[in-house]
Structure 1
Amino acid sequence: MKLSVVIPAYNEEESLPPTLRTLYQTLAKHGIPHEICVTNDNSKDGTLRVLQQLAETEIPTLVYYTNPGPNGFGYAVRYGLERFSGDCVAVFMADMSDDPEDLVKFYNKMLETNVDAVFGSRWVKGGKVIDYPQVKKYVNRLANLIIRMVIGIKYNDTTNAFKLYKRETMEGLKPFLSPHFNLTVELPLKAIVRGYSYAVVPNSWTNRKYGESKLKIKEMGSRYFFILMYCLIEKYFSRGDFRKKSSTPVSQSVSR
């Protein structure tokens, strides 16, 4: 099963080399057939130059695109999700906040269980966060609590972008609505509401070493709320029009 890794990148010339090298080396070490798909989101620094150099000299599985616009985290991820070639696809951060070894665990979990998606959680046994800003942590836990209560789920890390989906699962989540970071909530909530099976695997998160976070909490509140309300309406009023057409039961399991 070929794995595609979609990475959005805006002004990440410092973060990309260590991230992509480590990701490639890890996947190659474990013998996982893969491609690394980076969307340069119209960066103003040397991101495109770095991608060209890495693809030509070090990372043969690297493919990259430049999103001409509109731009934004969600648009950049969606640009990659329309172009990947693998049998399954993961969203991975350019700043190395995600651990490639966790991605291997996600991939193996999907192979072992044949679930439609694998979700990471930093807040279950075995998960961890390193240098997580306190204010961001408070907002994160509150947001996830609200999502759990509104949608009626046990999964506690919906806002975590780091997830793995089968190709047919990703196709079943279209059309995408979110242009910004609310895409990280749209994808898993749609998967859950539409009846796709998933497993939860602990993962780690490490704060970036270079550059600055693109997530602006004040700007995102209403956008997260919009997606939450959309998924709630779909759950109760769509009459199953978007649900997965299969007799396979929906499941959730936590791997420790």
Structure 2
Amino acid sequence: MKLSVVIPAYNEEESLPPTLRILYETLAKHGIPHEICVTNDNSKDGTLRVLQELSAKEIPTLVYYTNPGPNGFGYAVRYGLERFSGDCVAVFMADLSDDPEDLVRYYNKMQETNVDAVFGSRWVKGGKVIDYPPLKKTINRVANFIVKMVMGIKYNDTTNAFKLYKRETIEGIKPFLAPHFNLTVELPLKAIVRGYSYAVVPNSWTNRKYGESKLKIKEMGSRYFFILMYCLIEKYFSQGDFRKKSTTVASKPVSR
């Protein structure tokens, strides 16, 4: 099973070299057939130059695109999700806040259980966060609690962007609506509402070493709320029109 890794990148010339090198080395070490797909989101720094050099000299599995616009985190991820060639696809951060070894665990979990998606959680046994800003952590836990209660689910880290989906799952949850960071909520909630099976695996998160986070919490509240309400409406009023078409019933969430 070929793995695609979609990485959105805006002004990440400092972060990308160490991230892509360790990601490639880890996947190669474990013998995982893969491609690393970076969407350069019209960066104003040397991001494109870095991608050109790494692709030509160091990382043979690296492919990259430049998203001419509209731009934004969600648009950049969606650009990659329309172009990957693998049998499954993960969303991975350019700043190495995600651990490549966790991605290997996701991949192995999908292979072992044949679930439609694998979701990471930083807040279950085995998960951890390193240098997580206290205010951001408080907002994260409150937001995820609200999502759990509103949607009636047990999964506790919906806002975590780091997830793995089968190609069929990605196709089944289209069309995408979110142009910003709220895409991280849209993808898993649609998968759950539409009857796709998933496993939950502990993962770690480490604060970025270079540059600034692109997530502006003050700007995202209403956008997250919009996606949450959309998925809630689909869950109770769509009459199952968008549910996974299968002769078997989707399995319940699978723990590690």
1:32 aligns with 2:32: yes
Structure 2 CA distance for aligned equivalents of residues 228 and 157 of structure 1: 14
Aligned to 1:216: 216
Amino acid paired to 1:70: P
Structure 2 CA distance for aligned equivalents of residues 175 and 234 of structure 1: 13
Structure 2 CA distance for aligned equivalents of residues 249 and 93 of structure 1: 29
Aligned to 1:112: 112
1:202 aligns with 2:209: no
Structure 2 CA distance for aligned equivalents of residues 242 and 217 of structure 1: 31
Amino acid paired to 2:72: G
Amino acid paired to 1:171: E
Look up the SS of the partner of 1:254 in the other structure.
coil
Which deviations, in whole Å up to 9, do the C-alpha atoms of 1:193-238 show, x marking residues without a partner?
0000000000000000000000000000000000000000000000
Structure 2 CA distance for aligned equivalents of residues 22 and 243 of structure 1: 37
Aligned to 1:8: 8
Structure 2 CA distance for aligned equivalents of residues 253 and 74 of structure 1: 27
Amino acid paired to 2:254: S
Structure 2 CA distance for aligned equivalents of residues 163 and 126 of structure 1: 16
For structure 1, the 5+ residue unaligned runs are none
Structure 2 CA distance for aligned equivalents of residues 69 and 249 of structure 1: 36
Q: Aligned-pair distance for 1:187?
A: 0.1
Aligned to 2:82: 82
Aligned to 2:254: 253
Q: Aligned-pair distance for 1:140?
A: 0.2
Moved over 6 A (4+): none
Aligned to 2:176: 176
Q: Aligned-pair distance for 1:248?
A: 2.8
Q: Aligned-pair distance for 1:249?
A: 2.8
Structure 1 CA distance for aligned equivalents of residues 196 and 205 of structure 2: 25
Structure 2 CA distance for aligned equivalents of residues 122 and 179 of structure 1: 24
Which deviations, in whole Å up to 9, do the C-alpha atoms of 1:118-173 show, x marking residues without a partner?
00000000000000000000000000000000000000000000000000000001
Structure 1 CA distance for aligned equivalents of residues 6 and 252 of structure 2: 25
Aligned to 1:162: 162
Structure 1 CA distance for aligned equivalents of residues 151 and 41 of structure 2: 32
Alignment RMSD: 0.4
Q: Percent identity?
A: 87
Amino acid paired to 1:26: T
Look up the SS of the partner of 1:215 in the other structure.
coil
Look up the SS of the partner of 1:200 in the other structure.
strand
Aligned to 1:150: 150
TM-score (norm 2): 0.99
Aligned residues: 255
For structure 2, the 5+ residue unaligned runs are none
